[in-house]
Amino acid sequence: MKRRTQSLAAVPAAAVLSLGLAACGGDNQAAAEGEGGVSGEVVVDGSSTVQPLTAAAGELFGEEQPGVNVSVATSGTGGGFEKFCQDQTDISDASRPIAEDEAQMCEQNGVEYTELIVANDGLSLVVSKENDFAECLTVEQLQKMWAPESEGKVDNWNQIDPSFPDAPLELYGPGTDSGTFDYFTEAVNGEEGASRSDYNASEDDNVIVQGVSGSPNAVGYFGYSYLEENSDALKPVSVDGGDGCVEPSPETVGEGSYQPLGRPIFIYVKNSAYADKSHVSAFVDYYIENVDSIAETAGFIALNDEQKSTNEEALSKLG
């Protein structure tokens, strides 16, 4: 995927506080807040999966820079990119890489951006604590559940596996604006967006939590952090991607054995916002400098060394 960055003065990620004083147009604002201070609003929208991570980063950053408000909305990865490419936000949370048509929209509107990896995520299948039969599902069984051709035809658990009970199959998942939906459909059904439509869809992962936890016959999927947050009401379903049943965890996602549903997640930073708004650049640098501790705070899985090097290279082109 072609990454658009703007060659500006390189700023080390560690230089968060001095950056606020040095950034163009931010000197007077910083001085008003006191030495090393910045102020303003950082406008973020996009993935509901990434939202807890960016919100945690904003809260921690606010302890050091109380003059900055990080506003994090959730319209889904696709909805976030639409606003981002129309120059309505500073940062876009994304649970998948930007698509070609979205990149073209940004280019048409003169919006240049930089992609940064902020965590790893294990897209998690979940059932309620009352479900005592769905312990592991193969990718083929997931296809039978979610394939477009299953719509109106596959509606019982015993159609997924004869050993499963004669019980209605209740499906919950993200809506079509979600990057999690895009990733899941491509990983499971082999084509992004290929999915049956007769399921309970929501861009709000908490709605999925409520639906699945309320029925022993329900199954759904979302990012790992929501499984962690709701482990008292939900339990994970292991996935057999060809090498046996593997449950999502920091270890399995980090080592790459949770396949095909392990993935990186991103923020996309508007280059002009980073260059012209000292509070935006200060927040982004803080986010990336502290990305491991922020991921742990929000229940995500930390970056590996290769991903950190990728971020360092990307940041070196910003300033």
Question: 164-181, pLDDT tens digit by residue?
Answer: 999 999 999 999 989 999
Query: Which of 58-62, 232-236, 281-285, 314-318 has the least mean pLDDT?
Result: 314-318
Residues of the chain with CATH 3.40.190.10: 16-120+264-316, 124-260
In this prediction, residue 267 has a pLDDT band, given cuts at 50, 70 and 90, of very high
**Overall size of the chain counted in residues:** 319
How much is the pLDDT for 287?
98
Mean residue pLDDT of the chain comes to: 89
Query: Which of 6-10, 16-20, 109-113, 190-194 has the least mean pLDDT?
Result: 6-10
pLDDT of residue 13 exceeding 70: no
Q: Which fold has domain 16-120+264-316?
A: D-Maltodextrin-Binding Protein; domain 2 (3.40.190)
How much is the pLDDT for 185?
96
Query: Which of 6-10, 105-109, 112-116 has the least mean pLDDT?
Result: 6-10
Identity at 91, one-letter amino acid code: I
> What are the pLDDT digits (tens) for 202-257?
989 999 999 999 999 999 999 998 999 999 999 999 999 999 999 999 999 988 89
pLDDT of residue 30 exceeding 70: no
Q: Which fold has domain 124-260?
A: D-Maltodextrin-Binding Protein; domain 2 (3.40.190)
How much is the pLDDT for 20?
39
Give percent above pLDDT 90 in the chain. Answer: 82
